[in-house]
Chain A
Amino acid sequence: MGGRCPTMTWSSVGRTVRSVALLALLLAFGHSAHAHELRPAIATVGFDAPGRLQLELTANLEALVAGIGPQHEDTSAAAQAPEYDRLRALSPDEFRAAFDAFAPRLIEGIDLRLDGKRVPLAVRAVEIPEAGDLDLARISTLRFAAEVDRDARILTWRFDPAFGESVIRLAKAGSNEIIYAVFVGAGAEDQVALGDARPKSAAAVFADYLVVGFEHIVPKGLDHILFVVGLFLLSPRLRPLLWQVSSFTLAHTITLALGVLGIVSVPPSIVEPLIAASIVYVAVENILTDHLQRWRLAVVFAFGLLHGLGFAGVLTEFGLTPAHFVSGLVGFNLGVELGQLTVIAACFLVVGLWFRSKAWYRRFVSVPASAAIALVGFYWFIIRVI
């Protein structure tokens, strides 16, 4: 050792093959006494838009640049140690220069493929912390970006064996949530379907939420269905129905947006019983009167505000990514709307079309149906309050 401090190397006897491959290469650097246990590089792949891939890599960059990797495990770690230590002590700017010379080699060693096609990575940012405490390893963050095929589905990851172990992770599109993470031994390969990491176009998000909105009314939203049926039963003529539906729609659109934006928040324990109460109200009024009162429009508007808060609760629970906020919100609201129109169309086809001109329509259709709805609404109100 020629007067130098002793050197030692650590390796793994983990039970699995990849653990055995090698771990915890501990480097005791003779000339400065800094010993940093190596840890796997962590690679996170995400998309900020269709076809725009982002790769974040956090790693002990000095070890990569100095060439301290698994192949040195036994004998040659000491050979790179002085270089590692020199790099470790550099300021971020100085080390950046050393890294830039190494970057092409690193990129060559990041074998990232989408549907088998190599992703052409370009360094977008290098975040190197201050040298700080030399007793600690410095973990830097590299950000790469690449234009890729927006229809790609399968990701393949392989980190050059010389760079050691890695963890490959996928972030959900439009969020930082990690939906996949796997440890990859030195030289090993991992393949994964992009799934929810794959960003959707605004049109696809719109279509998805349209379906969610529709399904929230038909078949899931029996309470909303009964409310709309209640509006229908007031009068078999089109005009009162249009007024009511427009008033209701305008109102729930407002509170849906305000609720999802978090500007207005009312707990479900208040909203849900009131929605039940709104059903009782319109049904009872159908029995008491046969034409549209002016104040009924105001009341329907108020109930629309309530139902909108209920919709907001559903949409918030379902999740709306910031990247597609508007298309998701509009899609959902339109889906709700289509659901309601479907209910009205069904009512019209079942009873309205055939019986609305009959003298007995009100007595034998509207009043008994409204009474039944009022009872159901009252029952819901009770169980939602308790």
Chain B
Amino acid sequence: MVRHGAIGLLLALICTTASAHEFWVEPESFRVAPGERVRAELKVGQDFKGNVFPYLRDRFVAYRVTGRAGASEVSSYDGASPSLDIKSADAGLTIVSYHSTADRLIYRDWETFLKYTDYEGLTRAVAEHRARGLPERDFSETYVRCAKALIQVGPVGEDDRDRPVGMPLELVALANPYAGPLPGGLPVRLLWQGAPMADTQVAVFRQSGGNLNRTVTRTGADGVATVPLEGGGRFLLNAVRLDPADPNTGDEWHSHWASLTFAVADE
């Protein structure tokens, strides 16, 4: 308790509030046998550590499970946790995708915006904000979450590849992380409205044996970033796209948050 308090005090002094909240799909297991249940929670939090977000019909545009046989809507009841609990289909890579409705956040001060854009690699937005002559406090951003998880059911087949499932901002793994070692890392492509999105930060959270580390990488001209997989573990990738909001909405910014979760065995 004392130690915890001391850390809290230290945090308070150096004032390092990370302003961003990742949102991701967290499967109970990343590999399941055919016929077993596939369960996943929606999580919201920081550093791959989050609170459960229950199934709430009003909060998503699409919540789907896509497998070899095609896509199906996740149906449950409001308040359900885990929000995904289905019997797995036959073997194949199962893609869970969640596209949220928009929510709004209000920036009470400029510093919060600076920290957020710095953390997410969106620093250009700061100059843009000034160039647009926007206020430096009490401005707002609406955000949409596009979370995705890859679960391997049964053995990996040749056609078991991640693919775009139609979310506005989407991370797509270009190799199956369950198919075998990827010594050169996992290439992922960031898509905005289906087209590659270049020069954008992808944060990589790796959780392994109780440790968490965060590294960042950026997409190239082809929208592809390479995720180092050394050490294995559970991975959460996160990328943010920040656009000027439609002036008619009264908001200043509009963002999309793409996340991708998967696991890699320690080689």
| Interface set of A (CB-CB < 8 Å, partner B) | 1, 4-16, 18-19, 23-24, 26, 28, 30-33, 35-37, 39-40, 42, 74, 85, 89, 133-137, 139, 167, 169, 178, 180-183
Contact = CB atoms under 8 A, between A and B. Distances in A.
A82 to B, nearest CB: 10
A9 B104 CA distance: 9
B59 A19 contact: yes
B10 to A, nearest CB: 10
A293 B17 CA distance: 90
B112 interface: yes
Contacts of A7: 108-109, 112
A29 to B, nearest CB: 8
Interface of B: 1, 4-5, 8, 11-12, 15-19, 21, 44-47, 49-54, 56-59, 77-80, 101-109, 111-112, 115, 142, 249, 251
B8 to A, nearest CB: 4
A333 B106 CA distance: 66
Contacts of A178: 77, 80
Contacts of B18: 33
B78 to A, nearest CB: 4
Nearest to B77: A181
B50 A32 contact: no
Interface centre among A24, A134, A137, A180 (most CB of B within 10 A): A24
A33 to B, nearest CB: 5
A32 B11 contact: yes
Contact of A8 (B5, B44, B108): B108
A4 B15 CA distance: 7
A94 B27 CA distance: 34
B78 A12 contact: no
Given A1-B109, A136-B45, A13 B102 contact: yes
A181 B104 contact: no
B19 A28 contact: yes
Identify whether the interface residues of B are mostly helix, strand, loop, or mixed: mixed
B102 to A, nearest CB: 5
Q: From A5, A28, A180, name the one whose CB has the most chain B CB atoms within 10 angstroms.
A: A5
Contacts of B103: 10-14, 23-24
A31 B12 CA distance: 5
A35 B50 CA distance: 11
A181 B12 contact: no
A10 B46 contact: no
A139 B17 contact: no
Given A16-B58, A37-B51, A167-B54, A181 B105 contact: no
Contact of B106 (A10, A85, A134, A183): A10
A168 to B, nearest CB: 9
B80 to A, nearest CB: 7
Given A10-B104, A14-B102, A15-B101, A40 B56 contact: yes
B11 A33 contact: yes
A5 B15 contact: yes
Contact of B78 (A28, A37, A135, A181): A181
B105 A26 contact: yes
- Interface pairs A-B: 8 shortest CB-CB: A167-B79, A181-B77, A6-B112, A42-B79, A10-B105, A181-B78, A32-B8, A31-B12
A35 B59 CA distance: 20
15 contacts: A5-B12, A6-B17, A6-B111, A9-B106, A10-B105, A10-B106, A18-B58, A28-B17, A28-B112, A39-B54, A74-B106, A137-B51, A139-B52, A167-B56, A183-B57
A144 to B, nearest CB: 17
Contacts of B57: 183
A8 B86 CA distance: 37
Given A11-B104, A33-B17, 8 more contacts: A8-B106, A30-B12, A33-B8, A33-B12, A35-B19, A37-B44, A139-B52, A167-B56
Contacts of B15: 4-5, 30, 33
Nearest to B20: A35
A8 B105 contact: yes
Nearest to B46: A135
B15 to A, nearest CB: 5
B109 A135 contact: no
A19 B58 contact: yes
A11 B49 contact: no
Nearest to A78: B108
A117 B12 CA distance: 49
Contacts of B106: 8-11, 74
B77 A139 contact: no
Nearest to A74: B106
A6 B107 CA distance: 9
A139 B247 CA distance: 38
Given A134-B8, A169-B79, A42 B54 contact: yes
B41 to A, nearest CB: 12
Contacts of B78: 167, 169, 181-183
A106 B142 CA distance: 32
A24 B8 CA distance: 24
Nearest to A18: B58
A77 B54 CA distance: 23
Contact of B4 (A16, A18, A33, A89): A89
B12 A183 contact: no
Nearest to A20: B104
A2 to B, nearest CB: 12
A15 B58 CA distance: 8
A10 B107 CA distance: 9
Contacts of A13: 102-104, 142, 249, 251
